[in-house]
Amino acid sequence: MTITRETTVFRTHAVDPVLLGRLRETDDAGRAPELSTDEEGGSPLRCCLRHAAPGDRLALLSYAPLRHWAAETGADPGPYLELGPVFVHADADDCPGPPSAAGYPPAMHGADRVFRAYSADGRILGGRHVRLTDDEVAAGAADAELAAMFADPEIALVHVRALEYGCFLFAARRAG
């Protein structure tokens, strides 16, 4: 089961909750996740596409987003596979799931993002450095950026990443 939020051009995807069940035990690096409490809140959660609230119990785990997409689609991204850290709720019962509104998840905005495009076979096609304010995200500028990328028929997938750490935030896939 993949949780998605849909626009007319693309769908956004949080980390699949079924996959998270396994990753909370053994992550994509073959390790147990690191558990902690986010005392101040604010960690970006890839399970629900929100920021942690103060006191939330978190799991920091290694995640290979392209590997899981490739397994679903039959793509062979070869050396483009990457492994990186993501925060999720430590317990599935604590996660409300992604918000129901369509489009770019407002909580995942940031001053600097990288929208990295991939072809249907999993090869990097390029990317965009996107700088958005809260008001621009609310006005749909992030959705417009993603829609413009998907206007290229070669683009099948876009990973949205934080520029400062390079961390994967969520995926956008071509609708259809």
pLDDT along the chain (176 residues), means of 10: 55 91 96 98 95 97 96 93 95 87 80 92 94 79 91 95 89 87
Question: What is the pLDDT, as a whole number, of residue 101?
Answer: 65
Question: What is the pLDDT, as a whole number, of residue 118?
Answer: 97
Give the list of residues 6+ apart from residue 135 with CB closer than 8 angstroms, or none: none
Residue reference for tokens 């990317």: 127
What is the token pair recorded at 40? 């101040």
Question: What is the pLDDT, as a whole number, of residue 50?
Answer: 94
Query: In terms of Cα–Cα distance, which of 53, 15, 22, 34 is closest to 171?
Result: 15
- What's the predicted TM-score (pTM) here? 0.90
**CA-CA distances (angstroms) from residue 117 to 68, 89, 90, 127, 164?**
16, 27, 30, 6, 18
